[in-house]
């Protein structure tokens, strides 16, 4: 639902709701930008990591962000309509040079074939593989490139693990590339490297997850929380000791319990792995001032939570991600990372943009 079509009653009455604070993202950007002498850009790919690029990018621009990274040309075209004067890089490259030319989009060129297909008169970033073995021109080939890029770039594979030996190996390879492009600006650092590897900042840093309140590294505290996902209780029921809850009878309660059923499931992007079993506790949730946990499997549209010791009733909201239930805590339970949760945020929740 677009902000202009939004009514507060829609939010307050919604079975599930997603509060997103663009100002928190902007404040996180300012904190990150203050940590470096390089220009601080922003990764707003994947619809600003699921939070809504149309709402987030203008707030970033208002606090001084001038350079943005997206993955796809379609994202770049949408962003250009929002920010006519921004520098926009396309990380996955371009197959349609005329469209990129018209919109002033600058691709990361990651192979010699792509470089051959890119017009000589258009700017490009030479993306160099320094050891991640994902996108990027191999270093020996990059050193033979004679066309002048507007920037050289690479990407860390393990910056979220600061002591991983691959970080130093990648930095060494990038220094070799820098020696061949001495007067060309360089960009290497993502969120984690911005926070832990100042030697990799160069001319442009490209934070992503840290902008949105995610943890860029297990050793680092997240920045300001920017999102809260909630869903309403639709029923509270009594179950007896030993009764199973949910599909597959995956979990049986160990005591007589009150179980609340809330209107959220994997169809909303809340991962099935968050559920509980007889061997493992379900993900934490927060209801009426108390932390509790999920019971049994997450199903398509519903989850169950233990409210035996909590005053909870039909219509109460449960926080699934937010200040009281950190994104990374849920991600760890799900066996994934905050990036995946954010980019798959509830498809059906009513969204409100403003303070949490």
- 47-60: string of b/e by CB count within 10 Å (b at 16+)? bbbbbbbbbbbebb
Same domain, residue pair 139 and 242: no
When pLDDT is cut at 50, 70 and 90, the band that residue 5 belongs to is low
Looking at residue 2, what is its pLDDT?
A: 42
- Across residues 82-95, what is the average pLDDT? 97
Is it the case that residue 6 has pLDDT exceeding 60?
no
| Residue 170: partners with Cβ closer than 8 Å, 6 or more residues away | 130, 131, 132, 154, 156, 157
- 126 and 254 belong to one structural domain: no
**Structure tokens that stand for 3 in this block:** 């902000």
Span 331-352, average pLDDT: 93
Q: Answer whether 282's CB lies under 8 Å from 253's CB.
A: no
Same domain, 127 and 268: no
* Active-site residue identified among 30, 37, 62, 247: 247
Q: Is the pLDDT of residue 268 over 70?
A: yes
- Mean per-residue pLDDT for 149-163? 96
pLDDT at 7: 60
Range of the domain at 246: 227-353
Is 45 among the catalytic positions? Answer: yes
Q: Is the dihedral of CA 106, 111, 116, 120 positive or negative?
A: positive
Q: Does residue 4 lie within any of the structural domains?
A: no
In this prediction, residue 296 carries a pLDDT of 98
Residues 54, 161: one domain?
yes
Q: How confident is the model at residue 347 (pLDDT cuts 50, 70, 90)?
A: confident
C-alpha 21/C-alpha 225 separation (Å) is 8
- pLDDT-above-90 percentage for the chain: 92
Q: What is the CATH number of the domain that holds 335?
A: 2.40.37.10
- pLDDT score recorded for residue 219: 63
- Per the prediction, the chain carries an average pLDDT of 95
The reported pTM is: 0.94
Higher local confidence (pLDDT), 3 or 269: 269
Is the confidence at residue 216, as pLDDT, over 90? no
Number of domains in the chain: 2
Within a domain: 154: yes
Q: Which residues pair with 256 in a beta bridge?
A: none
Q: Domain for residue 32, yes or no?
A: yes
Residue 222 lies in a domain: no
- With bands split at pLDDT 50, 70 and 90, how would you rate the model's confidence at 12? confident
Q: pLDDT digits over 199-209, tens only?
A: 999 999 999 99
As a whole number, mean pLDDT of residues 167-188 equals 96
Q: Which one-letter DSSP state was computed for residue 329?
A: H
Identify the band that residue 215 occupies on the pLDDT scale cut at 50, 70 and 90: confident
Q: Supply the angle between the helices 53-62 and 22-33 in degrees, to the nearest 10.
A: 40
> Do residue 198 and residue 310 come from a single domain?
no
Q: What is the mean pLDDT of residues 13-26?
A: 96
Distance CA 138, CA 210 (A): 29
The pLDDT of residue 330 is above 60? yes
Domain boundary among 160, 186, 212: 212
Answer yes or no: do 83 and 172 share one domain: yes
CATH number where 53 lies = 3.20.20.10
**For the residues 235-249, what does the mean pLDDT come to?**
97
Examine the pLDDT at 3 and tell me if it is beyond 80.
no
Domain boundary (182, 212, 242) is at 212
45, 202, 266, 317: the catalytic one is 45
**For strand 204-205 and strand 290-293, is the pairing parallel, antiparallel, or unpaired?**
unpaired
pLDDT tens for 277-292 read 999 999 999 999 999 9
């Amino acid at each position: 639902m677009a902000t202009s079509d939004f009514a507060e009653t829609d939010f307050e009455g919604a079975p599930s709701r997603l509060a997103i604070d663009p100002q928190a993202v902007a404040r996180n950007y300012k904190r990150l930008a203050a940590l470096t002498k390089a220009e601080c850009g922003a990764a707003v790919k994947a619809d600003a990591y699921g939070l809504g690029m149309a709402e987030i990018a203008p707030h970033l621009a208002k606090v001084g962000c001038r350079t943005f990274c997206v993955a796809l040309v379609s994202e770049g075209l949408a962003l250009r309509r929002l920010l006519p004067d921004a520098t926009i890089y396309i990380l996955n490259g371009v197959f349609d040079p005329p469209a990129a030319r018209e919109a002033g989009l600058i691709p990361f060129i990651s192979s010699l074939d792509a470089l051959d297909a890119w017009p000589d008169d258009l700017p490009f970033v030479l993306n160099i593989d320094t050891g991640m073995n994902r996108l990027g021109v191999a270093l020996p080939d990059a050193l033979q490139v004679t066309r002048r890029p507007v920037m050289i770039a690479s990407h860390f594979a393990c910056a979220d693990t600061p002591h991983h030996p691959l970080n130093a190996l990648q930095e060494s390879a990038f220094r070799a590339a820098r020696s061949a492009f001495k007067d060309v600006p360089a960009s290497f650092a993502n969120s984690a490297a911005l926070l832990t590897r100042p030697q990799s900042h160069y001319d442009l840093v490209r934070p992503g997850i840290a902008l949105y309140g995610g943890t860029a590294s297990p050793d680092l505290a997240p920045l300001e929380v920017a999102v809260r996902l909630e869903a309403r209780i639709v029923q509270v029921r009594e179950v007896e000791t030993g009764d199973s809850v949910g599909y597959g009878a995956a979990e049986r309660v160990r005591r007589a319990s009150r179980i609340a059923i809330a209107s959220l499931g994997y169809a909303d992007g809340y991962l099935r792995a968050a559920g509980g079993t007889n061997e493992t506790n379900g993900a934490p949730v927060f209801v009426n001032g108390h932390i509790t946990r999920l019971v049994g499997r997450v199903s398509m549209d519903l989850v169950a939570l233990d409210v035996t010791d909590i005053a909870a009733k039909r219509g109460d909201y449960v926080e699934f991600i937010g200040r009281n239930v950190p994104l990374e805590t849920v991600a760890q339970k799900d066996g994934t990372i905050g990036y995946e949760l954010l980019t798959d945020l509830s498809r059906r929740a009513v969204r409100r943009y403003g303070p949490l």
